[in-house]
Amino acid sequence: MMDWAIVLQSTYHGSATVSPADWVVNEITPIGSRCGPLAAAIRLLERKLVAVDKLVSGIFPLEEWEQAFKKQNSLKIFFKIS
């Protein structure tokens, strides 16, 4: 069972420095996620062909990050930054 994961969601041009040793020692699992064509995604959303309510487990203020990550069986959690 995975306790912590870092989801890296981006199409990034450039490089980033990370320490795999930190991830191993702290038992953090990196998960890559890539976005696809935005225009196609917007069309699907406009036509209501994707039930996004079932995909989002919650929207939380950034100050409540700890409670958000404790939420069980979460599929996707968003943080509202004001």
pLDDT per position as a tens digit, 63-79: 888 888 887 677 677 78
What's the predicted TM-score (pTM) here?
Answer: 0.39
Residue pair 79/65 in contact by the 8 Å Cβ criterion: yes
**Are residue 43 and residue 24 in the same domain, yes or no?**
no
Higher pLDDT, 9 or 44: 44
Domain that holds residue 4: 1-35
**Are residue 22 and residue 57 in the same domain, yes or no?**
no
Q: Residue range 51-56: average pLDDT?
A: 77
**Are residue 40 and residue 76 in the same domain, yes or no?**
yes
Q: How many domains does one find in the chain? A: 2
Residue 31 has pLDDT above 80, yes or no: no
Q: Is the dihedral of CA 13, 15, 20, 22 positive or negative?
A: negative
